[in-house]
Every structure is written in structure tokens, then in C-alpha cells.
Amino acid sequence: MTFDLFDALPADPDTPPATEPLGPGAVVLRGFARDLGSALLQAVGEVSAGSPFRHLITPGGLRMSVAMTNCGEQGWVSDRTGYRYDPVDPDTGRPWPAMPGAFRQLALDAAEAAGYPGFAPDACLINRYLPGTRLSLHQDRDELDLRAPIVSVSLGLPAIFLWGGLRRADRPSRVRLAHGDVVVWGGPSRLVFHGIAPLAAGDHALTGSERINLTFRKTH
């Protein structure tokens, strides 16, 4: 089963954030992080100075088009041996940078607004998209605690979020995400397949030709 969602965004930037359902236990919080954009992006720069963005290799030997890094107690990594969480950045040999307080508070607030109080993420995956970059349909299932939700924050260029079903073959809906939109999913939708369509070229006042995505997870 898939769920359709209007692509329309509020015309007035001062319009209060709207909550739009994606499916059972899943919502889009429109504009929830919009006013925090500059501070969040500054923190991304500080994190990536300690653990630079890189293109991971999948277990099948493919190079991911998304560039990524992590912060928090755990970081998600991929190589020929598989997908996993690791407290050490394999590129630097050091622990991942600490999760900025603004990140942690945003994740907590967004989760609570979506009906998941007390969310305590220990990992934040930071993905950088350029025009043409995509993320194929997948499930977030490397976490040991699947009771906790996923909180995903969009910054910069708009993207088309692909929201599928519990089977890879389910046809996904196409959901337009703009700067500051936050998607939260858990409960019955925790293992829904999702992805990002190839990013369209554009220019954003804060990120230029890029889109940055913050994905918060509780791994244990």
C-alpha cells in the first residue's frame, strides 16, 4: 500500500508549519526546521571538518552517489564487508564528532511533534546531494532498536522523497521536500522502503547547488 501526498508548499513563509500524514506513524512536518537552517548548516561544516564527506562503497562494490559523514556516538558505514554502525570513523581512526546540541534538540522536538516523545538518537547521518545524486529505495533496518522512529531533516535544494511500502515492489509516492521540512516515521511505517529521486539542478541561498539531509537514528 502507498500513500499520496500533495506536493504544494505554503506560499507564505510565515505560515505556521503544517503536519501532513504519509501513512500510519509517519508525517511530514512542513517548515519545522526552516528557521534553524543557518545554524544547522554551520554545525554540518564543523562536523565535516573533523570527519570529511566521503562516497561509501556498497557490499556489492558500487560507489554511492551520495557523499556522507556522521556525528554522534555511532556512525553508519558501508564497505565490502557490509553495512553497520561503528563508533570510530574508519577514514580518520578517531571517534565521530559529537552530535551538536542543536541537532539533538531538533530531533527530540520533531519526534515529539510527530507523536514519539523521548527520542534519544545516538547517530546522525549527514548526506550531501548534488544535481543527479539519488538514493535508491531501501529500508533502515541496521538499528537494533526498531521501536525508535527515524527523523529526517531536509536543508537546501528541494528533493523528491520516494515513499513506498513494506515491500520493495510497492510503487512509491513522490513527495516534494523543501528546505526545513522534516519527515518522521516509526511504528507501523518504521520499515517502509524510501529513497530520493535524482536531485534536480538549482540554487539555494544557503547551500548553493547542494541539498543536505540529516537523518537521526537510535541504533541500540
* 83 carries a ligand binding annotation: yes
Query: Is residue 200 classed as helix, strand or coil in its secondary structure?
Result: coil
* 213 carries a ligand binding annotation: yes
* 116 carries a ligand binding annotation: no
Distance separating alpha carbons of residues 79 and 218, to the nearest angstrom: 21
176 φ/ψ angles, rounded to the nearest 5 degrees: -80, 125
* 92 carries a ligand binding annotation: no
* 129 carries a ligand binding annotation: yes
* 212 carries a ligand binding annotation: yes
* 214 carries a ligand binding annotation: yes
Query: Is residue 217 classed as helix, strand or coil in its secondary structure?
Result: strand
* 84 carries a ligand binding annotation: yes
* 142 carries a ligand binding annotation: yes
Query: Which DSSP string do the residues of 114-172 spell out, in sequence order?
Result: TT-TT---SEEEEEEE-TT--EEEE-----S-TTS-EEEEEEES-EEEEE--SSTTSPP
* 140 carries a ligand binding annotation: yes
* 211 carries a ligand binding annotation: yes
* 54 carries a ligand binding annotation: no
* 128 carries a ligand binding annotation: yes
Contact by Cβ (8 Å): 138, 163? no
* 217 carries a ligand binding annotation: yes
* 85 carries a ligand binding annotation: yes
Annotated binding site: 76, 83-85, 127-129, 138, 140, 142, 168, 194, 211-217
Annotated binding site for substrate: 76, 83-85, 142, 168
Annotated binding site for 2-oxoglutarate: 127-129, 211-217
Annotated binding site for Fe cation: 138, 140, 194
